[in-house]
Copies of this chain bind each other. A is one copy, B any other.
Amino acid sequence: MQWNRKDLLTLYDLSGEEIEYLLDTAAEFKKVSERSVKKVPALRGKTVVNFFVEPSTRTRVSFELAEQRLSADIVNMQAQASSLLKGETLLDTVRNIEALQVDLVVMRHAAPGAQSFIAKHLKCGVINAGDGAHAHPTQALLDLFTIREKKGGFKGLKVAIIGDILHSRVARSNIWGLLKLGAEVTVAGPATLVPREFESIGVRVCHDLREATSDADVVNLLRIQHERQNASFFPSTGEYSRFFGIKADSFKYLKKDVLIMHPGPINRDVELAGDVADGPNSVILEQVTNGLAVRMAVLYSVSGCVQK
């Protein structure tokens, strides 16, 4: 297979083969960060702009380290400091970035589809680092990478995603990727956050934690994102935790070798008990490590398709 996209916008766009290609490439790059000198000259003399119109620490830092380990030149732009405040259109802002002969723009934006809109108008590559509740493809890729590394593959694998599915770009991106690779996906959470409509995209919808997870090979727990919720979708975090939080007790019915995943940051003892987060089934910190490898793979693959 030959990678031939200058942008990474959503996993929805990709074939299973393309996703596997990125995971294979990430496996190569993972070795770089295990060396004493954690650096390759793959993007030397290339410029990457990290353009975050929504605040982010962990995704921004992971991308920035990935870019450094590829030897790229990096500029960080944040929304509040940017010309957006001066009334410039988003397209003008990004065209200005491109006019600086930038090779890649890594962008986070609150508006779903912002990156896809931008990518159509630019010759430089665009990587979606999260657009509203729509997509977060590199997060899904790191989840897929971690699952593949631990479970060997996806055919017939049972994955449960628990929490606020409605507002989660992580959930959407994971679902698209998992289904393309042959996994079976169950989503669960309070009915207000996990509407029946999700069945139409091919996942099982469920409102009981035990039912959703007792036969699961992987349980991916989403963060309860207080900051994204204007209305009250459940009575309290205590109540949420009682019905949908994974605790030591849950292992009475969970598979012995179930993987416990979480995109972070964790609300300890809300969606996930602290001892489970730190326990032997948890791969949460490995996900972070793999995120770096996956982002190196995406930056590298995409940059090869940017016209000079």
Interface residues of A (CB under 8 A from B): 33-39, 44-47, 49, 55, 57-58, 61-62, 64-65, 68-69, 73-75, 77, 81-83, 86-89, 92-93, 95-102, 223, 226-227, 264-268, 285-286, 288-289, 291-292, 308
Contacts and interface: CB of A to CB of B under 8 A. Distances in A.
B264 A73 contact: no
A101 B265 contact: no
A88 B265 contact: yes
Given A45-B38, A57-B83, A64-B75, A89 B268 contact: yes
Overall SS of chain A's interface: mixed
A288 B88 contact: no
Nearest to A33: B101
Given A83-B58, A101-B33, A92 B266 contact: yes
19 contacts: A35-B45, A37-B45, A38-B47, A39-B44, A39-B73, A49-B61, A57-B77, A62-B100, A69-B73, A88-B264, A88-B265, A89-B268, A92-B264, A92-B266, A96-B288, A99-B286, A99-B288, A100-B288, A100-B292
A265 B36 contact: no
A265 B92 contact: yes
A138 to B, nearest CB: 14
A86 B263 CA distance: 13
Given A37-B44, A49-B61, A55-B81, 13 more contacts: A38-B73, A38-B101, A61-B77, A65-B73, A68-B75, A92-B265, A92-B266, A93-B265, A95-B285, A98-B285, A99-B285, A100-B291, A101-B292
Contacts of A96: 58, 264-265, 285, 288
